[in-house]
Amino acid sequence: MTGTFTILRAAAFALVCVAAGAFAVTPARAQAPAEGPLELHFSHIGSEGTLYYISAEEYARRVEAMSRGRIRIVLHPKSGLGGDAEVLKKMLKNEVDISIIGTPMSNVAGEFGVFEMPFLVRNRTHVRQFRDRIMKQYLHQAANAKGYQLLAMWELGFRHVLNNKRPVEGPGTLKGLKLRVPKGEWRIKMFKAYGVEPFPVEFKDVYAGIQRGELDGIESTLDLIYGANIHQVQQYLTLSYHLYTPGFLIMPKDRFQALPTSVRAILTKVGLEMQEWVLDKGERMDAEIVQKMGLKTNEADRLAFTIQSLTIYKEYAQVPAQKALIKLIFESDVNPLAIDALRGRGSFAAGAGSKGDDVRADDAGTDAKNSWAPR
């Protein structure tokens, strides 16, 4: 009986102490609200209406839905947490959780530089033929070795040239132009080989740079150019398809591995499921934007540019793994680019002077819907 009484007294004393605030409990813990959703901060350089922006919004929506509200993706568009180069550094300090990175991944690991080889990727049908193999065999491991987790391979799209001076037909007509290019080693080398004066400034500074006369133009994807209104200060659009730039959905490796298994599964599953969605969206957007820009439009001599680019291929292929990557992508195409170029194929936007409108049966795919897509 005495023991029971003692226990009851102790319990009563404890209740009084809690009410009086006598227990040594920190204010933060005592007043902490119920645990909310896990927040992950997603930074990218895209403005509203770009494929970056739309893809990030869709990813956030799908992740929240699949997790039933347990995961919340907080979006920071328009370089809200810094440009690509800065975000890559912040990721290694666990200051940014997720991002879509394009060209600067070629500075992270040489394997990503394969997408800096001119005219190697012919169209989105071609992308579908090598995407899974290249990720599994090369890119996942390359990213991990540098401290990043590759979740999926989306796209930024095919790249084109805009400028204020003249239509770009071949390498000779690029000579002397001051073009903004991303901060990628191989991109800078490529345009120097064409006689261009490359300016690797941040994308957000391009519009003002053109207005001040510091830049003549830019090479980039159509949606980024249109979303930043750069077309408003340009006269000529050359649909060149000189490069295809994937958008790599990445996280810091340590941050990713520290997450619960169920969270990692959702983040990865949604990213992979969206790969096809992003390709289809990118194709539709390109078709619409070409018409909306209303610039003087022409097509480039892709064969002349390819020949001029051979020195870039030779240098990149000196590393055996990088040579194997070129081979993987080139041989995955059922209609190799070299054949297309020799035949003079490659029609573009309506009114741009298409050289041919025949589409071969084995070139079926989403790109076949657009008469201007590279064949």
Quick: pLDDT tens for 198-221: 999 888 899 999 999 999 999 999
Confidence of residue 371 (pLDDT cuts 50, 70, 90): very low
The residue among 116, 135, 74, 72 whose CA lies nearest residue 99 is 74
Task: Report, in angstroms and rounded to the nearest whole number, the Rg of the chain calculated over CA atoms.
Answer: 26
Please compute the mean of the pLDDT values over residues 74-78 and round it to a whole number: 96
3-state helix, strand and coil shares in percent for the chain, rounded to the nearest 5: 50, 15, 30
The contacts of residue 161 (CB under 8 Å, 6+ apart) are 168, 174, 179, 217, 218, 219, 237, 238, 240, 242, 300
Q: Is the pLDDT reported for residue 131 higher than 80?
A: yes
pLDDT in tens, 77-115: 999 999 999 999 999 999 999 999 999 999 999 999 999
Instruction: Look at residue 147 and tell me whether its pLDDT is greater than 60.
Output: yes
pLDDT at 335: 63
More confident residue, 152 or 334: 152
Q: What are phi and psi of 368, to 5 degrees?
A: -65, -15
Token digits of residue 42: 């997603």
How far, in Å, CA of 321 to CA of 319, rounded?
A: 6
Per-residue confidence band for 190, with pLDDT thresholds at 50, 70 and 90: very high
- The yes-or-no verdict on residue 360 having pLDDT over 60 is no
Confidence band for 368, pLDDT divided at 50, 70 and 90 = very low
C-alpha span between 253 and 38 (Å, rounded): 17
Distance CA 247, CA 99 (A): 9
User: Six-digit token pair at 50?
Assistant: 């770009």
CA angle 53, 346, 183 (to 5 degrees): 45
Least confidently predicted of 191-200, 207-216, 272-281, 321-330? 191-200
Tens-digit pLDDT profile for residues 325-336: 999 999 998 765
Distance CA 96, CA 81 (A): 8
Distance, CA of 326 to CA of 338 (rounded, Å):
14
Task: Read off the pLDDT band of 35 (50, 70, 90).
Answer: confident
Strand 38-43 and strand 244-252: the pairing is unpaired
The angle formed by the CA atoms of residues 8, 12 and 16, to the nearest 5 degrees, is 170
363: pLDDT strictly greater than 80:
no
Whether 15 shows a pLDDT value over 60: the answer reads no
- What pLDDT digit, counting tens, does each position of 44-57 carry? 999 899 999 999 99
Strands 148-163 and 217-221, bridge-based pairing: antiparallel
pLDDT band at 161 (very low <50, low <70, confident <90, very high): very high
CA distance 373 to 375: 6
Nearest to 338 by CA among 127, 57, 122: 122
**Partners of 152 in the beta sheet?**
249
Higher pLDDT, 370 or 30: 370
Burial of 292: CB neighbours in 10 Å, binned 0-12, 13-18, 19+: exposed
**Is the model's pLDDT at 286 over the cut of 90?**
yes
State how far the Cα of 182 lies from the Cα of 192, in Å rounded to an integer.
13
Average pLDDT, the chain: 83
Question: Is the dihedral angle over the CA atoms 75, 86, 101, 272 positive or is it negative?
Answer: negative
Higher per-residue pLDDT: 345 or 264:
264
Q: How confident is the model at residue 202, as a pLDDT?
A: 85
Burial of 326 (0-12, 13-18, 19+ CB in 10 A): middle
- Give dist(CA 164, CA 177) in Å, integer: 9
pLDDT at residue 357 tops 80: no
Domain boundaries, the chain: 38-369
Q: Which CATH architecture has domain 38-369?
A: 3-Layer(aba) Sandwich (3.40)
Find all residues with CB under 8 Å of 283, minimum gap 6, and list them.
Answer: 124, 366, 367, 369, 370, 373
pLDDT, average across residues 255-260: 98
CA 13 to CA 4: how far, in whole Å? 14
- Residue 34 DSSP label: P
Taking the alpha carbons at both ends of the chain, their separation in whole angstroms is: 92
Whole-number pLDDT of residue 116: 95
Which pLDDT band holds residue 183 (cuts at 50, 70, 90)?
A: confident
